[in-house]
């Protein structure tokens, strides 16, 4: 049978000619290693292109078409500069790119007439980035002597009709992969598949959501029965902390799926757990690697029963949070206050990131994004106007800006004293902790601190990582 490798390259990894040159070298090495019988590639749009496409469409919706024209010429420059360097005199690819940019202009024009961009139209626009990058990368590989061809995932990945966040129909997709991709691989070709996109059974283009090309790589790996998936990005795998804030942050050699999920939720730049779950479930080996430092082994993502080292694995923080507190002595022992609190928040369509209630039941506090604080307090004042009048609830208040600092590690579960170490380190660092939450998964401890103290908190906790 031989082994199958799927490699996904993100936006910066195909962002310019030099980056694509690295991609070519990485694919070449994988082929030369003799380890893989089949190699398939999934690509993102060149860096910033998806943003530009969507910005053009949005501007068109508010009647500005010049914006789209300016962005189209920027995107043309970006693609053509790379193409001319990697594969000069390739009129077919130039024409393909020109045709997609014409399509961009045409859809923007239609949007400007309608004065509105539907999710379906936005997907049609957003899909163009990967449709331009894939032929470019395929051509660069071909020029380097690697037989390759671009494949439009709209012909392979079949999805539902949830535009901007479509989900695949795995059975039909599997059949398409077997009919369309597998023969290419068997013939020794490297298919270069557009990430991020798919199409409905009727052939209407959809996208899997922003950052969705990881999801594409997962879908295709499962359908191809891949042995390994390598996600190529622009950092050396998953790090213990953001190196811009914690200078001695380092790459984790391995990370469990649930640890990665916690980090992703708390805003660390790692793989989206939903997209990667199928890969983990199939026990396909998953690596995160750096296109610009390919010799570095990167991070291996392990199933949840895997063995990793150390209790605290990583620390992350996100700012822009506000603490909402509902407090009053009349809340003691009254059932339904929490349910009504969260129902009122839900009506404002606000997502809560952290909840904490001490067992004295005299206050419930939780965090919401800064921008939603006003709406949330109004909704709560409405909900509890009677209790407020009767003074059963004394106060509903919103704090100034806070950050949530999250400490992640599956090993914390079996190790007593971790919380003690964390609070000791924060105390020594002069950081005041305002609220605490630990889920019973014990895989994460979250703390709220003043926004200005978040960086110091991260550095203090990071020093505890073995
Ligand atoms: N190009 C898409 C985006 O920027 C998908 C991806 O890069 O994963 O969201
Ligand atoms: Mg991206």
Name the closest ligand to CA 209.
1
For ligand 1, atom 5, the nearest C-alpha belongs to 211
- Nearest-atom number in ligand 1 for the CA of 130 is 1
Q: How far is the CA of 206 from the centre of ligand 1 (A)?
A: 13
Q: How far is the CA of 208 from the centre of ligand 1 (A)?
A: 9
Name the closest ligand to CA 48.
1
Give the pTM.
0.86
Q: How far is the CA of 431 from the centre of ligand 1 (A)?
A: 37
Pocket probe for ligand 1: among 47, 129, 193, the residue whose CB has the most ligand atoms within 8 Å is 129
Give the model's pLDDT for residue 310. 77
- Nearest-atom number in ligand 1 for the CA of 129 is 1
- Nearest-atom number in ligand 1 for the CA of 11 is 7
Q: How far is the CA of 20 from the centre of ligand 2 (A)?
A: 15
Give the model's pLDDT for residue 438. 80
Q: How far is the CA of 248 from the centre of ligand 1 (A)?
A: 29
Q: How far is the CA of 347 from the centre of ligand 1 (A)?
A: 31
Pocket probe for ligand 1: among 211, 219, 270, the residue whose CB has the most ligand atoms within 8 Å is 211
For ligand 1, atom 6, the nearest C-alpha belongs to 211
pLDDT in tens, the chain (466 residues): 799 999 999 999 999 999 999 999 999 999 999 999 999 999 999 999 999 999 999 999 999 989 999 999 999 999 999 999 999 999 999 999 999 999 999 999 999 999 999 999 999 999 999 999 999 999 999 999 999 999 999 999 999 999 999 999 999 999 999 999 999 999 999 999 999 999 999 999 999 999 999 999 999 999 999 999 999 999 899 999 998 899 999 999 999 988 888 887 666 667 877 788 899 999 999 999 999 999 999 999 988 877 767 789 999 998 999 999 999 888 777 788 889 999 999 999 998 988 988 766 788 999 999 999 999 999 999 999 999 999 999 999 999 999 999 999 988 887 888 889 999 999 999 999 988 888 666 788 999 999 999 999 999 999 999 8
The three state secondary structure string of the chain is: CCCEEEEEECCHHHCCHHHHHHHHHHHHHHHHCCCCCEEEEEECCCCCHHHHHHHHHHHHHCCCCHHHHHHHHHHHHHHHHHHHHHCCCCHHHHHHHHHHHHHHHHHHHHHHHHCCCCHHHHHHHHCHHHHHHHHHHHHHHHHCCCCEEEECHHHCCEECCCCCCCCECHHHHHHHHHHHHHHHHHCCCEEEEECCEEECCCCCEEECCCCCHHHHHHHHHHHHCCCEEEEEECCCCCECCCCCCCCCCCECCEEEHHHHHHHHHCCCCCCCHHHHHHHHHCCCEEEEEECCCCCCCCEEEECCCCCCCCCCCEEEEEEEEEEEEEECHHHCCCCCHHHHHHHHHHHCCCCCCEEEECCCCCEEEEEEEHHHHHHHHHHHHHHCHHHHHCCCCCEEEEEEEEEEEEEECHHHHHCCCHHHHHHHHHHHCCCCCCEEEECCCCCEEEEEEEHHHHHHHHHHHHCCCC
Give the model's pLDDT for residue 412. 85
Report the pocket of ligand 1 as residue ranges, CB < 6 Å. 10-11, 44-45, 50, 129, 195-196, 210-213
Name the closest ligand to CA 234.
2
CB-proximal residues (5 Å) to ion ligand 2: 10-11, 44
Q: How far is the CA of 9 from the centre of ligand 2 (A)?
A: 9
Give the model's pLDDT for residue 157. 98
């Amino acid at each position: 049978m031989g082994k199958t490798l799927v490699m996904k390259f993100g936006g910066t990894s195909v962002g310019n000619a030099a980056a694509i040159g690295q991609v070519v070298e990485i694919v070449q090495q994988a082929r030369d290693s003799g380890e893989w019988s089949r190699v398939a590639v999934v690509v993102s749009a060149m860096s910033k292109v998806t943003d530009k496409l969507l910005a053009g469409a949005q501007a068109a919706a508010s009647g500005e078409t010049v914006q789209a024209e300016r962005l189209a010429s920027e995107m043309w420059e970006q693609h053509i500069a790379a193409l001319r360097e990697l594969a000069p005199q390739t009129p077919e690819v130039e024409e393909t790119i020109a045709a997609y940019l014409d399509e961009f202009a045409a859809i923007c024009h239609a949007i400007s007439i309608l004065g509105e961009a539907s999710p379906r139209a936005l997907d049609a626009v957003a899909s163009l980035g990967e449709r331009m990058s894939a032929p470019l990368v395929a051509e660069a590989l071909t020029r380097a002597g690697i037989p390759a061809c671009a494949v439009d995932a709209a012909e392979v990945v079949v999805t539902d009709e949830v535009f901007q966040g479509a989900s695949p129909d795995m059975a039909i997709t599997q059949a398409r992969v077997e009919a369309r991709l597998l023969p290419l691989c068997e013939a020794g070709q490297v298919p270069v598949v557009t990430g991020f996109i798919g199409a409905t059974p009727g052939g209407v283009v959809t996208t899997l959501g922003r950052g969705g090309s990881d999801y594409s790589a997962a879908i295709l790996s499962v359908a191809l029965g891949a042995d390994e998936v390598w996600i190529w990005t622009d950092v050396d795998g998953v790090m213990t902390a953001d190196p811009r804030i914690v200078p001695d942050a380092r790459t984790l050699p391995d990370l469990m799926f649930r640890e990665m999920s916690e980090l992703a939720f708390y805003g660390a730049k790692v793989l989206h757990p939903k997209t990667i779950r199928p890969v983990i479930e199939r026990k396909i080996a998953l690596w995160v690697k750096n296109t610009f430092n390919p010799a570095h082994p990167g991070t291996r993502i392990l199933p949840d029963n895997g063995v990793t080292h150390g209790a605290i694995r990583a620390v992350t923080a996100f700012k822009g949070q506000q603490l909402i507190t509902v407090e009053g002595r009349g809340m003691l022992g009254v059932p339904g206050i929490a349910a009504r609190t969260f129902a009122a928040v839900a009506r404002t369509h606000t997502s809560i990131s952290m909840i904490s209630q001490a067992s004295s039941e005299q206050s419930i506090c939780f965090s919401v994004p800064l921008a939603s604080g006003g709406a949330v307090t109004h909704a709560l004042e409405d909900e509890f106007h009677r209790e407020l009048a009767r003074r059963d609830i004394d106060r509903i208040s919103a704090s100034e800006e806070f950050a949530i600092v999250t400490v992640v590690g599956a090993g914390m579960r079996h190790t007593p004293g971790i919380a003690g170490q964390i609070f000791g380190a924060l105390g020594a660092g002069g950081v005041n902790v305002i609220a605490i939450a630990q889920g019973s998964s014990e895989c994460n401890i979250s703390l709220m601190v003043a926004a200005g103290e978040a960086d110091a908190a991260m550095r203090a906790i990071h020093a505890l990582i073995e």
